[in-house]
Chains A and B, each alone.
Chain A
Amino acid sequence: MYLYPVQMVLVRRGIMKTETIAAVATALSASGISIIRISGKEAIAVADKIFMTKSKKHILCHAKSHTIHYGFIYKEEEPVDEVMVSVMKAPRSYTAEDTVEINCHGGVLITKRILELIVENGARLAEPGEFTKRAFLNGRIDLTRAEAVMDLIRSDSELALKSSFSQLQGSVSSAIRGLRKKILHEIAYIESALDDPEHISMEGYEEIISDIVTQVADEMKKLLRTAANGRMIREGIRTIILGKPNAGKSSLLNALSGEERAIVTDIAGTTRDIVEETVSIHDICLRIMDTAGIRSTDDIVEKIGVEKAVANSRDADLILYVADSSVAWDENDSYILSLIQDKKCLVLLNKTDLPSVLTEQMIREKTGWDIPVIAMSLKEGKGIDTLEEAVSDLFFEGQISFENEIYLTNVRHKEALQEALESMLLVHESISKHMPEDFYSIDLMNAYTALGRIIGEEVGEDLIDEIFSSFCMGK
């Protein structure tokens, strides 16, 4: 039928949009299992679309409450992951709604892919604290906990806001802003012509807008592709290696990543910029940054590297401080100490194969707090196991966590961008069907609003402002 694409989108994201929500319910755990929770009327239907048993059957729609099922998540014909899926029907679930939990093999990429599949099939991403909010609204949580729920929403959303800012400095946000500006200008043009048809003519506009829509949609597609490559979405525990020059930081990164990524030499100050690597320790994803050694230096290039190292350590979730046991404590060590204050940190006392000048005891005295110190010799491959154990312990104890808020924010960005793109395609549809211009501006506005969510800007008076500043109207 003529309006088919509009209705298709409706089915895809219209009705179910607010009803059914999904999110990763767990921080990435050391066991490597992530749980994705879906809640709402369509939860079971959504899960059923992407889950099949080993014998390739869709069974979830007929599953009884409180049952668990073994099978695979599929993206079209391709298996994505081997999973266990539990089904809990309303009201016997945390949110008191139909709930499905998918236990998958952790790992950021797999979890993200499954969550995206769920979103593509009709759920939307949960707002911060939304499961708890629903649980409360459905009477599952005691009244006295209302305050706590509100705190949760407050802190979650602030964190999400913070993380979306930290993620979106630079090219992505300026690209989004650029697209918004273009779209807004076109809406303003259409609207001013509608409001003042005798002053502003729309002759020949169909071709102009068609080109602009194509161009904007192409840029959106490009952005979405970078998101899929993981350049826009980077997740994992932000880990930073700090230490004086030649303490063995790069050797540590190489030992952990199992490849010669950073250049290792005997010359102090070899790593001048930041080398980044994603490393998996006991299935925990670490995004490790190797930095320039910290020392006061006159070399400009090296100096920039040091400054970057310092800046990055502020945002880090975990710091690995590599100390050289063969060299005496100096003011550079003291400086590093000031950087790791109040941070989750492991001290790695390297080069235990050489005569010892700096000891564990001395470091503990210097730091003044109970900091884990691990003796290692990277040259002889000693202590790596202990380090891996220690990192996974921190995880088990919940002392460091995967920043899933940032992760969520990112999938949210992608969802918003996808929505904006779909709106642009609807504009195209309207143009090719020769719909009147006022129909364009409805979908252009939706695209503008969706992009606004990525950079945290809502639609206020900006349209009206654009109309009056760009187009001369009036009696």
Chain B
Amino acid sequence: MAEIREKADVCIIGAGHAGCEAALACARLGLETVIFTVSVDSIALMPCNPNIGGSSKGHLVREVDALGGEMGKVIDRTFIQSKMLNQSKGPAVHSLRAQADKAEYTRCMRKVLENQDHLIVKQAEVCELLAEEYKEEAALYEKRITGVRIATGIVYECQAVVLCTGTYLNARCLCGESIVHTGPNGLQAASYLSASLQSLGIELRRFKTGTPARMDRRSLDFDQMEEQKGDERVIPFSFSTDPEEVQIEQVSCYLTYTNEKTHQIIRENLDRSPIYAGVIEGTGPRYCPSIEDKVVKFADKNRHQVFIEPEGLHTNEMYVGGMSSSLPEDVQLAMYRTVPGLEHCRIVRNAYAIEYDCINAIQLKNTLEFKKIKGLFSGGQLNGSSGYEEAAAQGLVAGVNAAMEIMGRDPLVMDRSESYIGVLIDDLVTKETMEPYRMMTSRAEYRLLLRQDNADLRLGKKGYEIGLLSQERYHKLCEKEKAIKDEVQRLKSVFAGASEKHQLFLERHGSARLRTGASLAELMCRPELSYEILKEIDPDRRPLPSDVTEQVEIEIKYEGYIERQTRQVQQYKKMEHKKIPETLDYYQIKNLRIEARQKLDAYRPVSLGQASRISGVSPSDISVLLIYLEHMGQQQ
């Protein structure tokens, strides 16, 4: 049989949330791209919760959008309910979350992929990565990727591969005593690729996660639950979506609670849970514990919340948020039926736990390329993360960097002060995560600067420079930036004197009288006053778009805090800018402690900043390294 050889620039393995972003980025940058999936019907599938966004995850979606990614646009077209979380808190932790119509989301993303120039969608299981020895000197690379082979034997030659295999590698699903070797939702698992990765010297580990049951809407009694509606005024995810287009009729979610009876059933059947019986080997995430875990670890809580969320407009399936489980289906049914409103529930799809192979991401550079294999990139759940948004963010970065490498351009690397994506990737490649990694706002040190409302201002320029953001969108962004700056400046320079009119105005709003004059900016800093309220004593004000005034308000109201974080960022940047040569021989530096030498040699940090975040490297090791690098610099 003659071997068929196809040619492409980039091959993307997997068409989940990471794969879609990676493929679109490469194709939009003009590279011939092939995206492989085990099922074209399951492109951008959401096998777990029916939401996009949420605390800090919403930030990721906004950032993906600001860089020219697709996720935000697709959810804006397919959401059925939307909420801005944490509205009573500071602007840094406001976060969008939308309920998706899952089937619509998949269909919509598939359409985008299928109509993208330079992109071919191919249904096939990739079984092998092809690579050759890397011969050029002065690099860490040992191999170079040359292509992939699919199950039917066809070889696709390419210059770069982006792995976005999600939870499919050697996957198995567990529900009580029943174990099936499939990926999520009963889809075919990838059973050959793990071995190929290992033969390239890639180290694998095993993680697990889980999902709750889906129920038939007709079997539930919503009168016994609290209704949860969406926001009255919906804010879109994408900066390019017209806000008027997202003011749709929304559907509701419902809240109910577990009780002692539920917990008792769980406790009595713990021996039948694969986790507690020791059948599951993978490490699970603490942030999304199964209901068994919640009952065992928080034994003093007598109830847990349960959110009933629709999976779409054209299905009766309802997602039972808060009650993921790997107990046998008969136990599941019994426990679910103790919950008010679920007494007569029928399970459409049972809850299960899934175990899969993933990599230890410290094998990756901060570009998401493997340190030792040129042209091999990795994004998404394979890197040990969890969540659709985390996956999309990494997929975008991995795809862009595969393209940048082929085109001989500088990679896209964001640091911890620039974006949540930067924090996410830095954490993954620098700290050895021991469980599936989820984004959290507490992981971002400079979160006052990394708000969801200013993602476009932070990252738009990068998106434009990469080539994913249109000239038009970038132009608009620059105008917005200027309008904000001008208005802040104006408010700082317009003074309100202590006239009777002003005093009365202040009194009316419960604000202290002025002794002398104050600038409008100073008045805006008072908690009881706002940009809108000050309109009355600001006759020269021109009408400005709400996204501009929002930024003006935040910049002025939180100026002190923002300034403080800006200074911290300057400190942080100093260390990030001190680069370390890729091939530095740490064993030559005698003054480093042995442990530090070993760690640094294994991690190969790109900067002193990154080196300082590796556990086991002390501040004095960093000083030693600093001096050593300066010494080298001066010698050259």
Contacts and interface: CB of A to CB of B under 8 A. Distances in A.
Interface of A: 1-3, 6-7, 10, 14-15, 18, 127-129, 133, 136-137, 139, 143, 146-147, 149-151, 153-154, 157-158, 187, 191, 194-199, 433-439, 441-442, 460-461, 463-464, 467-469, 472-475
Interface string B70-86: 00000000000000011
A439 B627 contact: no
Contacts of B167: none
Contacts of A128: 620
B587 interface: no
Q: Identify the 10 closest CB pairs spanning chains A and B, nearest first.
A: A3-B560, A2-B525, A6-B560, A157-B620, A468-B286, A436-B90, A191-B442, A150-B591, A436-B89, A474-B288
B93 A468 contact: no
A47 to B, nearest CB: 24
B219 to A, nearest CB: 22
B284 to A, nearest CB: 11
A463 B563 CA distance: 25
Given A146-B627, A150-B591, A7 B89 contact: no
A316 B634 CA distance: 43
Contact of B92 (A150, A434, A438): A438
A438 B90 contact: yes
A342 to B, nearest CB: 26
Given A18-B571, A136-B630, A474 B287 contact: yes
Contacts of B85: 197-198
Contacts of A2: 522, 525-527
A404 to B, nearest CB: 18
Nearest to A127: B623
Contacts of B135: none
Nearest to A136: B627
B169 to A, nearest CB: 23
B259 interface: no
Contacts of A435: 90
Contacts of B634: 139, 143
B298 interface: yes
A15 B288 contact: no
B86 A197 contact: yes
Given A6-B560, A472-B297, A472-B298, A467 B90 contact: no
Contacts of A149: 627
B520 to A, nearest CB: 13
Given A3-B525, A3-B559, A463-B442, A475 B321 contact: yes
B49 A439 contact: no
Nearest to B632: A146
B530 interface: no
Nearest to B91: A436
A33 to B, nearest CB: 30
Contacts of B448: 442
B307 interface: yes
A472 B294 contact: yes
25 contacts: A2-B526, A2-B527, A3-B560, A6-B560, A14-B564, A127-B623, A133-B627, A136-B627, A143-B635, A154-B591, A157-B618, A194-B55, A194-B86, A195-B56, A195-B440, A196-B55, A197-B55, A197-B86, A198-B307, A433-B527, A436-B93, A442-B561, A442-B565, A474-B322, A475-B324
Contacts of B286: 468
A467 B522 CA distance: 37
Given A7-B560, A474-B287, A475-B288, 15 more contacts: A3-B560, A10-B564, A10-B567, A153-B627, A154-B624, A158-B620, A187-B442, A191-B442, A194-B93, A195-B440, A198-B85, A438-B90, A438-B92, A438-B441, A467-B442
A153 B442 contact: no
Contacts of A472: 289, 294, 297-298, 301, 304
Interface in B22-50: 49
Nearest to B563: A10
Contacts of B564: 6, 10, 14
A442 B615 CA distance: 23
Interface string B608-636: 00000001001110011011101100110
B563 A191 contact: no
B90 A475 contact: no
Nearest to B88: A436
Nearest to B324: A475
Given A1-B522, A197-B86, A474-B294, A153 B561 contact: no
A206 to B, nearest CB: 12
Contacts of B443: 464
In terms of DSSP, what is the predominant structure of the interface of chain A? helix
A191 to B, nearest CB: 4
B631 A143 contact: yes
Nearest to A9: B564
Interface residues of B, number: 58
Interface in B259-289: 286-289
Given A194-B93, A195-B440, A434-B527, A150 B297 contact: no
Contacts of B627: 133, 136-137, 146, 149-150, 153
B305 interface: yes
Contacts of B591: 147, 150-151, 153-154
A278 B525 CA distance: 54
B336 to A, nearest CB: 16
A150 B618 CA distance: 14
A435 B526 CA distance: 11
Interface in B468-486: none
Nearest to A467: B442
A14 B447 CA distance: 19
A137 to B, nearest CB: 6
Contacts of A18: 571
A243 B242 CA distance: 89
A121 to B, nearest CB: 19
A474 B307 CA distance: 11
A110 B15 CA distance: 70
A154 B620 contact: yes
Contacts of A439: 90, 561
Interface string B557-585: 00111011101000100000000000000
A194 B441 contact: yes
A345 B448 CA distance: 59
B90 to A, nearest CB: 4
Contacts of B571: 18
A451 B198 CA distance: 44
Interface in B410-435: 431
Nearest to B92: A438
Nearest to B286: A468
Contacts of B90: 435-439
Nearest to A441: B442
A164 to B, nearest CB: 13
A463 B444 CA distance: 12
A431 B612 CA distance: 33
Contacts of A194: 55, 86, 89, 93, 441-442
A438 B86 CA distance: 10
Nearest to B618: A157
Given A2-B526, A3-B525, A442-B561, A198 B89 contact: no
A377 B564 CA distance: 65
Contact of A157 (B92, B301, B619, B631): B619
A18 B573 CA distance: 13
B624 A153 contact: yes
B620 A153 contact: yes
A40 to B, nearest CB: 15
A460 B615 contact: yes
Contacts of B307: 198, 475
Contact of B624 (A150, A437, A460): A150
B442 A199 contact: no
Interface in B108-128: none
B349 to A, nearest CB: 16
B20 to A, nearest CB: 22
Contacts of B322: 199, 474-475
A149 B626 CA distance: 11
